[in-house]
């Protein structure tokens, strides 16, 4: 049965279909870390659902903090089996705002351009993240970093530990663009590592 749902904090409303009640609900906490920026980087994700808890981490030998923040969300969402209702918690205002305020969708719609002159950064990862968001019912929620949020703190430890690992693989897209003023969107995304 359709429900009336507020579109924003003002008076507009839209008619939307209610999500199925049997859709699994998952909380995904994420964080990225970089030793130097750019430098060795890592990501961590903690998934919590009625079925249990799962931790993911991985890293790359040379990347950026923003790439690791986005990669953490991708890793968490790629782990899900079937359509889920997902709350992604992140201390990255950049990532949360890019999804929730529609920036990343706008960048994609304009050929990965932020404006008439500037290309969007990390289009390879944004494309993957947006695709995953379209496969699930996802909401991004900002949490203050290093403020005692248990699962966010755990993700920080996972990401930092991953960044410090020896023999990390290459972030192929980032390293291929190094020295290039703007990223290209046709590069193959880096392979995510799982423990």
Q: Which of 124, 151, 156, 171 is catalytic?
A: 156
Q: Is residue 146 among the annotated active site residues?
A: yes
Q: Is residue 137 among the annotated active site residues?
A: no
Which of 48, 44, 45 lies closest to 26 in space, CA to CA?
48
Q: Is residue 118 among the annotated active site residues?
A: no
Q: Is residue 31 among the annotated active site residues?
A: yes
Q: How many residues does the chain have?
A: 195
- 3-state SS, one letter per residue, for 36-101: CCCEEEEEEEEEEECCEEEEEEEEEEEECHHHHHHHHHHHHHHHCCCCCEEEEEECCHHHHHHHHC
Distance from chain centroid for Cα 41? 15
Given a contact cutoff of 8 angstroms between Cβ atoms, the answer to whether 43 and 59 are in contact is yes
Which of 150, 155, 146 lies closest to 75 in space, CA to CA?
155
Q: Is residue 178 among the annotated active site residues?
A: no
Q: Locate tokens 């909401």: which residue?
A: 139
Q: Which domains does the chain possess? A: 22-177 (3.30.420.10)
Q: Is residue 153 among the annotated active site residues?
A: no
Q: Are strands 25-34 and 39-49 parallel, antiparallel or unpaired?
A: antiparallel
What tens digit of pLDDT does each residue of 118-168 get?
A: 999 999 999 999 999 999 999 999 998 888 889 999 999 999 999 999 999
- pTM reported for the whole predicted model: 0.82
Q: Which of 52, 146, 148, 178 is catalytic?
A: 146
What tens digit of pLDDT does each residue of 59-114 get?
A: 999 999 999 999 999 999 999 999 999 999 999 999 999 999 999 999 999 999 99
Cis (ω within 30 of 0) for the bond into 163?
no
pLDDT-based confidence at residue 7 (cuts at 50, 70, 90):
very low
**Sign of the C-alpha dihedral computed for residues 100, 102, 108 and 111 taken in this order:** negative
């Amino acid at each position: 049965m359709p429900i009336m749902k507020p579109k924003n904090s003002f008076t507009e409303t839209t008619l939307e279909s209610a999500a199925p009640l049997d859709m699994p609900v998952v909380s995904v906490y994420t964080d990225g870390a970089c030793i130097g920026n750019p430098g060795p980087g890592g990501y961590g994700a903690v998934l919590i659902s009625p079925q249990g808890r799962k931790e993911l981490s991985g890293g790359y030998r040379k990347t950026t903090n923003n790439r690791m923040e986005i990669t953490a969300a991708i890793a968490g969402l790629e782990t899900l089996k079937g359509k889920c209702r997902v709350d992604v918690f992140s201390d990255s205002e950049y990532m949360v705002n890019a999804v929730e305020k529609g920036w990343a969708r706008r960048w994609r719609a304009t050929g990965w351009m932020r404006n008439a002159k500037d290309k969007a950064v990390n289009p390879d990862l944004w494309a993957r993240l947006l695709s995953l968001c379209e496969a699930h019912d996802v909401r991004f929620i900002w949490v203050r970093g290093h403020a005692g949020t248990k699962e966010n703190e755990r993700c920080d430890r996972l990401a930092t530990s991953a960044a410090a690992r020896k023999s990390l693989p290459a972030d192929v897209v980032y390293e291929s663009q190094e020295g290039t003023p703007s990223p290209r969107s046709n590069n193959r995304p880096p392979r995510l590592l799982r423990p």
